[in-house]
Amino acid sequence: MLLISLCLWIKEDFTVSMKEPNTTLSVQELIAQKSNRGLLSAIEKIIPKLLLAIAAVSVLTTIGIMVTLIVETLVFFSRVSVLDYIFGTEWYPFANSTATYGVLPLIIGTLKITGIAIIVAVPIGIATAIYLSEYASERARKMIKPVLEVLAGVPTIVYGFFALTFVTPILRSIFPEVSIFNAISPGIVVGIMIIPMIASLSEDAMNSVPNSMREGAYALGSTKLEVALKIVLPAATSGIVASTVLAISRAIGETMIVAVAAGSTPRFDMDVTGSIQTMTAYIVQVATGDAGYGTTIYYSIYAVGFTLFLFTLVMNMLAQFISKRFREEY
Amino acid sequence: MKYINHESVASNTRTRLVKNTVLKGLFLAATLFGLIVLGILLYRVITQGSGYLSLDFFTSFASRIPEQAGIKSAILGSIYLMLVVAPVSMFLGIGTALYLEEYAKKNKWTEFIRINISNLAGVPSVVFGLLGLTIFVRYFGLGISILAAGLTMSLLILPVIIVASQEAVRAVPKEMREASYAMGATKWQTILRVVLPASIPGILTGSILALSRAIGETAPLVVIGIPTILMFTPDSVFSTFTALPMQIFDWTKRPQVEFHEVAAAGIIVLMTLLIIMNSIAVFIRNKYQKRY
């Protein structure tokens, strides 16, 4: 690449100098004669500013998200009391005369899904990471990792379809009390969705544990299992915890799986076999419904979106804090 | 020798080795779990959907009758959407990466941009939908159009493209830049003619993977409010449209089993598109990416 680009470049300059009427000029004079020097230095001055402007788009996006959510949420809170929203246990926005906006049922719904997902994903994800980093041969690793990448790339709507048409019927044939829409099936499938994330981030953390520490343990007669559980796992704890926190954040924000398979019944209890509603699923329900622009229901999706945003933001910052603060350097 | 009880050492070792073997099996089972799920998922989708896959499926519009339902407007909509997302997100992503890697000084402002990008990557896609609905659809007055949805999707995948491009640009060795400077090149000439050509395979690979995420993304489209049943194909970036994942969502929501099978057929098409895009990305990575 270097050679080609340099050659092209030399060729360009060469053709320029060929056009010069007098070829006996010295190099300095040639450089002085080049008419595009002013243009070049102008470009050199403009480009950094242009690129800075482009880089600012990502900052503007964050500001846009914050401003959008805050402004529209304030409109919502001019109609609904903040305290009723935060501490209310009834979410009935579609009841025409007695609409209530207590967000706790939606938060409980989100936590049910997240909890089930974590129960599924953390053991399987960490076990996968241990297998890949401590036991698997190079060949096995090379075969398994791309498949996990594919699993991570499956669109969430496909997972939603899978939850509704495969996992739910199986659950219903084993436990008849489970209804068509429930928390268990989408919870399990969200868990499957975040397995690759936990596995690959945890494996990175385990791979960065130096081999000398493993070999020290082997020299004392440890089995592979003892090395994995007593040396590698403790040394990689910060990375594993950070990956889990990031996965929790993903599960909280997951939308399509719950919108398809969890139902739309906001409820303030601990039941996971019946239809529930999460924060994300509520936003989808309103967006696909016919709530007009300017209604309280319309503004409520911003309040719920803002709540969701705060949840994921706290989780992401926590993950960054953990991996920075507790990282052990070897 | 009497200090060591050989029998207890031997039995202890045996249990430790058995534990090791049993747990190794468990770890392997956990690893295979993901692969098995992927296998079941693909098998289910193919057996359910292949009956509806025909030429008519690609050439007919959505319909209330499952046998006549097709994805003509959806697949064209998805392609048009990508025609907006690809240039916008790559222009912004590569520009930001070049700024951060080549020009940015190490100060608080740069650190702020970096933290901002990693936080942006963690924002749920449904929240990006709210941003698109408020800013692009309503405030800019773009309506429920390909352009509004495309700009929203571009911002959604921007962090992924920035990070991939940063890694690609960082992998270009210093010597190549210095050789270029030594020839009298200016900084921008060096970036344009040395750094970018050397890093373009990495940038392309990351961008295609990010685009394959955008093509399957549903939540922002739902929030923006794009329709699911559309009896025409879009003619410009300002016209309304529907997209493949949106169509699948609509079919999945319907109670009739026949529509679930139509949805499965749509999923086959979507997954095939994704596999093609991923293969192109892997091909570019293997063929053109050099290690310096």
A48 close contact with B: CB closer than 8 A? yes
The stretch A66-85 carries a mean pLDDT of 93
Q: Are B116 and B211 in contact (CB under 8 A)?
A: no
pLDDT in tens, B49-79: 888 888 788 888 877 777 777 888 889 999 9
User: Cα separation of B127 and A62, whole Å?
Assistant: 11
CA distance B26 to A135: 12
Residue B49 exposure: Cα atoms within 13 Å on the Cβ side: 29
Minimal CA separation from B132 to chain A, in Å: 9
Residue A23 binned pLDDT confidence (cut-offs 50, 70, 90): low
Helix (H, G, I), strand (E, B) or coil at A243: helix
The CATH code of the domain at B56-288 is 1.10.3720.10
Q: Which of B185, B208, B189 is nearest to B86 (CA)?
A: B208
| pLDDT computed for residue A51 by the predictor | 93
The pLDDT mean for chain A works out to: 87
pLDDT in tens, B74-111: 899 999 999 999 999 999 999 999 999 999 888 898 88
Percent pLDDT > 90 in chain A is 63
Domain boundaries, chain B: 6-51, 56-288
Hey, where are the domains in chain A? 100-325
Average pLDDT over residues A23-38: 67
pLDDT per residue as tens digits for the range A274-330 = 899 999 999 999 998 877 788 889 999 999 999 999 999 999 999 988 888 877 666
Kindly list the residues from chain B whose CB atom is less than 8 angstroms away from the CB atom of residue A161.
45, 248, 252, 260, 263-264, 267
CATH of domain A100-325: 1.10.3720.10
What is the chain A residue with the closest CA to B201? A1
Side-chain half-sphere of A145: how many Cα atoms within 13 Å? 14
Tokens representing residue B59 in the block: 């050439």
Interface test with A, best of B130, B161, B192 (most A CBs within 10 A): B130
**Is the CB of B30 less than 8 angstroms away from the CB of A124?**
yes
Q: ipTM of the assembly?
A: 0.91
Backbone angles phi and psi of B4, in degrees to 5:
-105, 125
For A163, B15, B264, the CA distances from A192, given in Å and listed in that order, are 10, 33, 19
What pLDDT was estimated at residue A10?
47
The shortest C-alpha distance from B56 to chain A (Å) reads: 22
